Amino acid sequence: METERAKAKYDRLNKDEAALLIIDHQSGLFQLVHDHSPVDLEQNVCALADIAKLFKLPTVATTSKEDGPNGPLMPVLRERLPNPKIVRREGEINAWDNAEFVKAVKKTNRKQLIVAGITTDVCVAFVTLSALEAGYKVYVVTDASGSLCIGSTAGALARMVHAGACPMSWFAVASELMRDWREDEPGFKKLMVDHVPNYKHLIDSYKANKED
């Protein structure tokens, strides 16, 4: 056990090495998510998109049969994502089976992939397992992904972690990318105020105390 712990490596996210993959966050598929509330999931997905904008991360988005019930990429993502490459798949369940998608990922020249999508147990898990096999480091944003139920999410996460993926929250992703409050405090603070109501109250309280 001690030997295994000694070999463990802390692969920290780096804004110069990471890219964001948005997998099937589509208006229709959004209706299938039941392990997060609709309000929470949308807020978390928006936060992740704003993280990509803040840290200038290359972003690849993909959709599946968006002219059918799955629907288009969520409007809040289209508004926020910083010039993403959007790959519209016609049938592949695993986006990694789509040559255009893999080409777009390779074109980012990043080896750390931050992945989120719908559903966690299918669209996210399949891409994660494929990317790990291809030699990428994969960080799954659990609170910006969603499944039909908590049970399917738990099983999928266990499978991905066993293969080498790192599950994270969007807040952890943002914090690890920034690393130091002195790097870009205003941008990070705005991210928090925009997406964490309690943090806004914290800042308001701080400002009020300073004025007294």
- Is 123 among the residues known to form the active site? yes
State CA 18 to chain mean position distance.
11
Residue written as token pair 């109501």: 197
| Tokens read off for 96 | 């990694």
The residue annotated as part of the active site, out of 46, 123, 149, 166, is 123
* Cα gap 159→127, rounded to integer Å: 12
**Distance in angstroms (rounded) separating the CA atoms of residues 180 and 175:** 8
DSSP 24-40: --BTTGGGG--SS-HHH
C-alpha–C-alpha distance, residues 164 and 84, integer Å:
26
DSSP string, 152-197: HHHHHHHHHHHHT-EEE-HHHHHHHHH-SHHHHHHHHHHHHHHH-H
Structure tokens at 54: 């803040």
Place of tokens 């066993």: 162
Give the chain's end-to-end CA distance (angstroms, integer).
55
Are 121 and 152 spatial neighbours (Cβ–Cβ below 8 Å)? yes
Residues serving a catalytic function are 123
